[in-house]
Amino acid sequence: MSKLLEKVGIKDITFGTDKALRLHTYQYHGPDPEGLWGGPVDKEDAKEDVQMLLGKFKECVSEYFEGYLDEELRKILDNV
């Protein structure tokens, strides 16, 4: 799905998909201190992934969907 979004012009979305899948794996398997399956090695690493993912989400919403946001949604986005 993320490749299709990139084809229609939403750039760098696959980065977010990769981060989300990495966090999904962490949710089910916990940390990967040995680096065997490519998940976050510890809680701090997972936290950094969450911050990066939210930052990218905020950029995408601001760039591609700004016209659809009402005042309430803009306030929520500002708090991300």
How far is residue 76's CA from residue 80's CA, in Å, rounded to a whole number? 7
CA dihedral 13, 18, 24, 29 (to 10 degrees): -170
Is pTM beyond 0.75? Reply is yes
Gap between the terminal Cα atoms of the chain:
24
> Each residue's pLDDT tens digit in the chain (80 positions)?
788 888 888 887 887 888 899 999 999 999 999 988 888 999 999 999 999 999 988 988 988 899 999 999 999 988 88
Amino acid at 72: E
